[in-house]
Amino acid sequence: MPHDSSSSPPLEPSLELWTAVEKFLTNALVAPDPVLDGVLAAHAKSDLPPIAVTPAQGKFLHLLARIMGAKQILEIGTLAGYSTIWLARALPPEGKLITLEFKAEHAAIARGNFQRAGLAKQIELLEGPALESLPKVAAAHPAPFDLIFIDADKNNNPRYFEWALKLSRTGTVILVDNVIRDGEILDPDSKDPDIQGTRALFELLHNEPRVSATAVPVADSKGYDGFALALVL
């Protein structure tokens, strides 16, 4: 078992503790990988926001896709494609992943990363606002997706969830990132449209008979946050 080289962690829950535990888990469970580590290293040196999923979360997405035997994956929110690569690596050779990104700089960096990962043939990046791309995805891909990862502008989470349902079948898994936001999700009066969007998503999940949903809180170097997971019935 690899052990953490740092000194004793503080006992109070804190970003410092969560970061140390994340490091421990990454060392223990996520093997070094030239492609993924290269994507993160380039990301860290760039002006891109540091908001990709962590390595342990990326592997969680990857394992979930493998557990499900996902062949068709949809991602909303690409950034540099770190989560995209983890997910696409779970696909069988004939599998496909479509990812949606509206910032041209992010799309260009992501496309380079997909090339370097040897995944350019399996990943299709659609550039543009996701709400404009989704009708095109629906028209071009009548077959439903197996797994849908929503990780873009959180104010649109209710719209993305409705689209995800349209693009689903019984057994599709819809995963939504960043549904806790350091507990801000508790504030019904939040002026933050991202919080309001995610609160509206929970309202939809609560009332939607076509899904069974839960959420998994996460505390790590990115703070106190988490995933919502919905199974389409």
Query: Binding residues for ligand DHB, per CB under 6 A?
Result: 51, 151, 177-178, 222
Place of tokens 């109070």: 12
Is 26 among the residues that bind Mg ion (CB under 5 A)? no
81: helix, strand or coil? coil
The interface mask with ligand SAH, positions 39-58, x = CB under 6 A, is: ------------xxx-----
- How many beta carbons lie within 10 A of that of residue 10, not counting itself? 9
CB-wise, 146 or 151, nearer to ligand DHB? Answer: 151
Task: Give residues with Cβ within 8 angstroms of 127, minimum separation 6.
Answer: 101, 102, 104, 107
Question: What tokens were used for 59?
Answer: 């592997």
Q: What minimum distance in Å lies between the beta carbon of 171 and ligand DHB?
A: 26
Figure out which of the listed residues 19, 72, 83, 172 binds ligand SAH, where binding follows CB under 6 A: 83
Figure out which of the listed residues 19, 55, 123, 151 binds ligand SAH, where binding follows CB under 6 A: 151
Q: What minimum distance in Å lies between the beta carbon of 221 and ligand DHB?
A: 11
Distance CA 230, CA 175 (A): 6
The interface mask with Mg ion, positions 110-129, x = CB under 5 A, is: --------------------
Distance CA 230, CA 233 (A): 9
DSSP string, 187-205: -TT---HHHHHHHHHHHHH
Given ligand DHB, Mg ion, ligand SAH, none, residue 102, with its beta carbon under 5 to 8 Å by kind, binds: ligand SAH
Distance CA 103, CA 109 (A): 10
Is 225 among the residues that bind Mg ion (CB under 5 A)? no
Is 79 among the residues that bind ligand SAH (CB under 6 A)? yes
Figure out which of the listed residues 82, 114, 145, 227 binds ligand SAH, where binding follows CB under 6 A: 82
Q: How many CA atoms lie within 13 A of 103 on its CB side?
A: 13
If residue 97 lies in a helix (H) or strand (E), which one and from where to where?
strand 96-101
170: helix, strand or coil? coil
Task: Give residues with Cβ within 8 angstroms of 119, minimum separation 6.
Answer: 85, 88, 89
Given Mg ion, ligand DHB, ligand SAH, none, residue 137, with its beta carbon under 5 to 8 Å by kind, binds: none
Given ligand DHB, Mg ion, ligand SAH, none, residue 100, with its beta carbon under 5 to 8 Å by kind, binds: ligand SAH
Figure out which of the listed residues 54, 157, 178, 198 binds Mg ion, where binding follows CB under 5 A: 178
Q: What minimum distance in Å lies between the beta carbon of 61 and ligand SAH?
A: 8
Give residues in contact with ligand SAH (CB under 6 A): 51-53, 77-79, 82-83, 100-103, 106, 129-130, 151-153
